[in-house]
Amino acid sequence: MFDLNPTRLLLWLPAVLIALTFHEYAHARAAESLGDSTARYMGRMSLNPLVHLDPLGFILLLVAGFGWAKPVPVNPLNFKGDRQRGMMLVAAAGPLMNIFVAFTAALILNLALPGAGMMYSSAPLVQIMLAIVYINVFLAVFNLIPVPPLDGSKVLAGLLRSDEINYKLGRYGPVILLILILTNVVGVVLLPLSNMLIGFLFKIAHLITAPFVGF
Catalogue the active-site residues.
24
Cβ–Cβ < 8 Å for 23, 57: no
Round to whole Å and give the CA distance between 31 and 86.
8
Hey, is 21 helix, strand or coil?
helix
The 10 Å CB-count burial string (b at 16+, else e) for 118-131 is beeeeeeebbbbbb
Q: What is the DSSP letter of 184?
A: T
CA-based radius of gyration for the chain: 18
Q: Tell the burial category of 202 from Cβ atoms under 10 Å away from its Cβ (0-12, 13-18, 19+).
A: buried
Contacts (Cβ under 8 Å, ≥6 apart) of 14: 128, 131, 132
